[in-house]
Amino acid sequence: MKHLVLIFTLLATPAFSVQPEEVLDDPLLELRAREISKNLRCLVCRNESIDDSNADVARDLRLLVRERLLLGEGDDEVIDYIVHGVPGEFAGFGEYVLLRPQTTGSNLVLWGAGPVMLILSVLLAGGYLRRRARTPVGQVAGLNDEEKDRLAQILKE
């Protein structure tokens, strides 16, 4: 029985990241806050959402999300506030804070760079192999007499 309790405690550890004092009274708002928090990256932990992180920065971000929801903002407005901020008030954290970065604007170049480079490398390799296969074996230039003599001297040494 002790082992079973220990296993369930270890499995539920991320659930303890959100402290009881952070939980909103309105269950619908709390559900929205949790959904938003699952998509925001902890700035201290690598690839961990602020909902799962115990870091102080993650806690501050969770509180900020809940504060913005209590102000009546929509989910997209809350995310936009955290990413871009408000000039003169809050600078925002940039798109790094998003666990799933947007595929628009300059990020579109980054999303497309990998597949484009793969396609280019396959095309270049295919062209090289095709040219190499077309070259007849007899057309490969051999060594002239001077080169043969020099090679013989090198091999004797």
What digits encode the pLDDT tens for the residues 96-114?
888 887 777 777 787 788 9
89 — pLDDT class (breaks 50, 70, 90): confident
Task: State both tokens at 121.
Answer: 């490398």
DSSP character at residue 87: T
What pLDDT was estimated at residue 14? 47
pTM above 0.85, yes or no: no
SS3 state of residue 44: coil
**What integer is the mean pLDDT of 147-152?**
91
What pLDDT was estimated at residue 128? 92
Element (H, E) at 56: helix 56-70
The amino acid that residue 35 corresponds to is E
The amino acid that residue 150 corresponds to is R
